[in-house]
Chain A
Amino acid sequence: MIELRNVSYSYRTISGSTAALENISAVLPSNKVTAVIGRTGSGKSTLMELIGGITAPDSGTVTVNGLDAGKCGSSIGFVFQYPEHQLFAETVYDDIACGPSNLGIRGDELEARVTEAAELTHIGKRLLRLAPFELSGGQKRLAALAGILAMKPSVLLLDEPAAGLDPSGRRLVFSIIRSLVSGAEDMTVVFVTHSMEDAAEHADEILVLNGGRKAAFGTPSRIFTDEKLLSGCGLGLPETVKLQKELYALGLDPGEMLDVPSAFGSVCEMLGRCGVSPKPKGNV
């Protein structure tokens, strides 16, 4: 569990200081996936750095599982916006092994951790032998994630985990995230995204930032049905919610449709109410 209490932070530059976050309070629950959304420059990455204990707040507190975030060490895993910035070893294998090795893990246990993390992220044996710079952007993202997972953190922070990934890579990353919070162990996952579709489909809770302030915190169905909130924060709607609005404008009311599977259910029900029925299979 992550607790943010009245957190504020400003960047100090030659020209003065710029407020990045102002008075943020929220509790991000364990065994849930929280998405942080907001416009470019709204403070999302800064918030992640504070939760990760990389930066300390100017005022307020950030606690992770009851401890000050700055004192949590390797129990917090952080996958940065640009994965290539955190790959440095000679081979992908060595890179994944680097984190657990720094924790003093050696021998069979180290190998088991690397193998497990590589399997989880679909990094095959051929890729493990390559140098990290030989990987494509998406493969680097997965290698960086594998390196963090090999350290077995209890909090996983991901800054734009799906940016630059193809659809199958994106599905893989989010299925890994889901499996982590569904496991028996205590796990908190927070990810930053610009994709409203990803936030709607893969998050349990959503924190909306606007100009460094908390604009809202709630479930996807609460956030994405509040168009005034989203447009006030300069954010768009997921494509299926746009479809819901377009249908409404045409006099049809399909009900909630946050993602494609829920849109399918809602549209089928609505079509049924309108007397449109599917034809028996084989006539399609």
Chain B
Amino acid sequence: MIEIRDLSRTYGSGSNKAHVLHGIDMNIERGAFTAVLGKNGCGKSTLVRHINAILKPQRGSVRVDGMDTKDPRRLYDIREKAGIVFQDPDSQSVAATVEDDTAFAPENLGLSEDEISERVEAALRAAGIAELRKKSISELSGGQKQLTAVAGIIAMRPDYMIFDESTSMLDPLARSRVLECVMRLKRELDVSVIWITHYMDEAAAADRVVIINDGKIAADGTPEEVFSDIELIERCGLELPPCAQLCVMLKNAGYDVPRLALNAHDCALLISGMTAAAVKEREGAS
């Protein structure tokens, strides 16, 4: 479990001093898919960078499976347990080819050669870039570089996988493929996923949604709970998933919308239910 207690951080000094995180308290259990939302500059990235000890708490504490991120002797163990993929893949490409880059993390874990090649093969296939394995990183498009970075963490198989807008440059199919793969790892290996995103439809598929606003936790619950508080969503500079927006517009127009639908399938069932209820009402009246 990741335990974050009273975590605070400031950047800058004097008149430019800004509180980026302000007394954050939260636990992240094994096997959960947690989406982290918030407007730009709200502190999402700063928060997750504390989990694998890239940043150390200025105040408060972060523990990963009981290990304090401020303890320099546990740094290696913590980073083995919690891996992060950044938004800009150029900031974390280390090797010359796709294959070597994907193998970098498992090699550093001291695994056997067979185990490394099995993991690299599976990760490249999972990310859908097996055919790019011999390509030089410099020949890749922005999205292909992101997929290489994602393959790297999949091959590493840490207990806590942190994705900091790591699929922002991907086409919808590549994005859903990465998401499916991560969900599968979560189910099969009990991996915990922390997924920072600006795509509300991705957040709607999570087990838990945490909204950070001005360095504080503004909401924490299931997608249904969090997206039901429309006022809060707007106050935090976010928006509802498209189908939920439609539900709200229909409700505001005076339609009897029984609940908020977060995806197309559920929304279609809801609208179809509204038409069926009207038919029933008419039949009852006649």
Contacts A82-B88, A168-B237, A267-B246 known; A40 to B169 CB distance under 8 Å?
yes
The reply to whether A164 and B198 contact each other, CB–CB distance below 8 Å, is yes
The reply to whether B264 and A239 contact each other, CB–CB distance below 8 Å, is yes
B 155-169 to A, binary, CB cutoff 8 A, 1 in contact else 0: 000000000010011
The reply to whether B169 and A160 contact each other, CB–CB distance below 8 Å, is yes
Q: Is B38 in contact with chain A by the CB < 8 A criterion?
A: yes
The reply to whether A40 and B174 contact each other, CB–CB distance below 8 Å, is yes
Partner of A194 from the list B170, B239, B268, B282 (CB cut-off 8 Å) is B170
The reply to whether B264 and A246 contact each other, CB–CB distance below 8 Å, is yes
The reply to whether A278 and B254 contact each other, CB–CB distance below 8 Å, is yes
Partner of B40 from the list A81, A169, A197, A236 (CB cut-off 8 Å) is A169
Q: Which residue of the partner chain A has the closest CB to B145?
A: A40
The reply to whether A284 and B201 contact each other, CB–CB distance below 8 Å, is no
Interface centre among A39, A84, A238 (most CB of B within 10 A): A39
Q: Is B176 in contact with chain A by the CB < 8 A criterion?
A: yes
A161 to chain B, nearest CB (A): 12
The reply to whether A271 and B267 contact each other, CB–CB distance below 8 Å, is no
List the B side residues contacting A284 at CB < 8 Å.
251-252, 254
Contacts A82-B88, A247-B271 known; A268 to B282 CB distance under 8 Å?
no
Contacts A129-B16, A136-B40 known; A239 to B242 CB distance under 8 Å?
yes
Interface size class of B (residues with CB under 8 A): 35 or more
The reply to whether A40 and B268 contact each other, CB–CB distance below 8 Å, is no
The reply to whether A137 and B173 contact each other, CB–CB distance below 8 Å, is no
Complex alpha-carbon distance, A246 and B173, angstroms: 19
The reply to whether A275 and B175 contact each other, CB–CB distance below 8 Å, is no
Q: Is A88 in contact with chain B by the CB < 8 A criterion?
A: no
A 30-49 to B, binary, CB cutoff 8 A, 1 in contact else 0: 00000000111100110000
Binding site for B on A (CB under 8 A): 11, 13-14, 18, 38-41, 44-45, 81-82, 84, 126, 129-130, 134-139, 160, 163-170, 194-197, 234-236, 238-240, 242-243, 245-247, 249-252, 259-260, 263-264, 267-268, 271, 274-276, 278-281, 283-284
Binding site for A on B (CB under 8 A): 11-12, 16, 38-41, 45, 87-88, 90, 136, 139-144, 146-147, 165, 168-176, 198, 200-201, 237-239, 241-243, 245-246, 249-256, 263-265, 267-269, 271-272, 274-275, 277-279, 282
